[in-house]
Structure 1
Amino acid sequence: MARFYALAAAAMLLAGGWRRCAADVGDFAPCLGFFYRSWPPKGLAGTPICQRFSNRYRFATLYDRQRRSPWLSAYVFTPPAGKRPSASWKYEPQLAYPGADGNMIPFPPGPVDQNVVESQAVELDYINSTYSRGHLNPSLHHRSREDRNATFTLTNVVPQKVGSNEGPWEILEQTVNKTLAAYCLGEAYVVTGVIPYRTGERWLKNHRVAVPEYMWSAYCCPNYNDSLPEELKDAFPTYAAIGRNDRNSTEEIVPVSKTAKKQFRGYDVRRMPLETLEMYLKDRFSTVVSVFYEQCSGSD
């Protein structure tokens, strides 16, 4: 009888383990803590992924299987510590095999399993392309080495022009880092996503991975230092930005600076209130998009 109960308990643990793994893809329930008030953004359709690394959830991603590219990633900001880790790119096994272990896995040195190739972006997609791998959830916005390593998964990156990734968008990430580290007193929730082209998709060289026209980001810090400098009075509790990923885009959303350095000109970033960002998202996606619960109002 004792052996029976031991076997039953083991079976329940195993079943529970499989349920937790299966919930990593297709369900945000295990990782709602990465969203303000446990409320994921509304209005965008895709496959939810609770990004798990070393048996811990690190952030959340809304993924588009057809575009082999994320719509957004959401995470809790923590001030970084130490050097940026070396890139060890990973993939999400459950996109290829339902019920697979929920931990992201480093790409092998040799050929990649065809199920993985068909289900998501792989390293070969980016090699010899004119785009870099642009993090939605950047390593810079995390303290622990494990959290930083977890950002190097291709389900968290989009094709981003180097002039954006190493220019105005990098400056935005650094500015957000300094602002939240200095003035946010509680949890800071960040959501970063992409805006597709209005007509027709653009693709990487092999027509597998969709290229966004713009990138956007917004943070929510409901508890912050009241002694803000004048230039940051409108930057709390929330603020947002849109960045150009195409030099040839019109200037309706993001004007082009005439004084920017030549190699970065055309990849400008425009900072704006959350309401303005959501207005542009509504226009491009033809539906109401809400990034934070009640626009990050009230105490956390």
Structure 2
Amino acid sequence: MAYPWLLFVLFFATKLGTCGGDVGDFGPCLQFFYSRSRRAPWFSAYVYSIPSGKRPGASWKYEPQLAYPEANGNMELLPQGLVDLNVVESQAVDQDYTNSTFSRGHLNPSLHHQVHEDRSSTFTLTNAVPQKAGSNDGPWETLEQTVNKTLAAYCIGKAYIVTGIIPYQNQEHWIKNKRVAVPEYLWSAYCCPQFNNSLPQYLRSAFPTYAAIGRNDINSTEEIVPINKAAKKQFFGYDVRQMSLETLEMYLKQRFNSVVNVFYDSCSEQPDVAT
């Protein structure tokens, strides 16, 4: 199964360099999506579509082409039991998460896609990061649901979403076996250039762009995302802070020590995306 959802036009300038990824030409940008040494994605970029049908079963897959350059781009189911060593070396596998304190957190969620093939294709560990259940099943899930309802109701044209991670500032944190890097925060932003002008007052600041950062560590300081002291125990410390795109880019600049522009021309105009 290929990547039917990885169609996006993006400008991303970081300490790694400058990348302008166009549809069908992600060659210069591959290092910005997936970190082989961290065995985890930096971010995922996709086009939103209104979901239909039930959520696919969580049949997690891997990317053969990361293990074998000659392999095609179709994902394959992770085998039960012993996994090929080349696959283990190239990417995260189920065993990394077994008996850990982390869940598999989608960057590109199944909820934000319409057809079954697109929704199923999000279940690859190259699209997942170690995420605490208090975030994944709590405030972050609420954010994904809110974005889904908002775009479905008020976005007229195409909506573009980028979701990524913020690593720890001083040193990497890892799952138990020190193979898969754990993010300190998750962030997400959308761009909807064409939207219904009859927005309710509370949503006027959510168009054409909207952004948020979520905590993935209850012990993180509160400069970026404050803690809601009244939150339920299982979700305490995993808050999500909504903010402007400009504020998000400011925090990304501070953490990555370089300019980050999430959307082309700050979402003032988006080129068409081929399908």
Give the distance between the partners of 2:191 and 2:43, measured in 1 at CA.
Answer: 15
Contact 1:159 1:211 in 2 (8 A): yes
What TM-score, normalized to structure 1? 0.82
Amino acid at match of 1:241: A
Give the distance between the partners of 1:122 and 1:106, measured in 2 at CA.
Answer: 11
Report the equivalent of 1:138: 109
1:1-300 counterparts in 2 under 5 A? 34-35=7-8, 38-43=9-14, 45=16, 62-298=33-269
Flag structure 1 segments of 5+ consecutive residues without an equivalent: 1-23, 25-29, 51-59
Contact 1:169 1:243 in 2 (8 A): yes
1:121-167 CA-to-partner distances (Å, cap 9, x unmatched) read 00000010000000000011111011110000000000000000000
Cα offset for 1:34? 2.3
Cα offset for 1:43? 2.1
Give the distance between the partners of 1:272 and 1:126, measured in 2 at CA.
Answer: 31
Contact 1:32 1:40 in 2 (8 A): no
Cα offset for 1:110? 3.1
1:181-211 CA-to-partner distances (Å, cap 9, x unmatched) read 0000010000000000001111001000000
Rg larger for: 1
Give the distance between the partners of 1:238 and 1:258, measured in 2 at CA.
Answer: 28
Identity %: 68
Q: What SS does structure 2 have at the residue aligned with 1:242?
A: strand
1:243-275 CA-to-partner distances (Å, cap 9, x unmatched) read 000000000000001121111010000000000
- Cα separation, partners in 2 of 1:103 and 1:32, compared to 1, 3 Å: closer
State the Cα RMSD in Å. Answer: 2.1
Give the distance between the partners of 1:44 and 1:179, measured in 2 at CA.
Answer: 33
Give the distance between the partners of 2:253 and 2:58, measured in 1 at CA.
Answer: 35
Number of matched pairs: 259
Cα offset for 1:294? 1.1
Q: Which runs of 4+ in 1 moved over 6 A?
A: 30-33
Q: What SS does structure 1 have at the residue aligned with 2:117?
A: helix
Contact 2:35 2:42 in 1 (8 A): yes
Give the distance between the partners of 2:62 and 2:197, measured in 1 at CA.
Answer: 42
Amino acid at match of 1:34: L
Q: What SS does structure 1 have at the residue aligned with 2:146?
A: helix
Contact 1:44 1:289 in 2 (8 A): no
Give the distance between the partners of 2:10 and 2:98, measured in 1 at CA.
Answer: 36
Flag structure 2 segments of 5+ consecutive residues without an equivalent: 22-29
Structure of greater relative contact order (alpha carbons < 8 Å, 6+ residues apart): 2
- Cα separation, partners in 2 of 1:147 and 1:33, compared to 1, 3 Å: closer
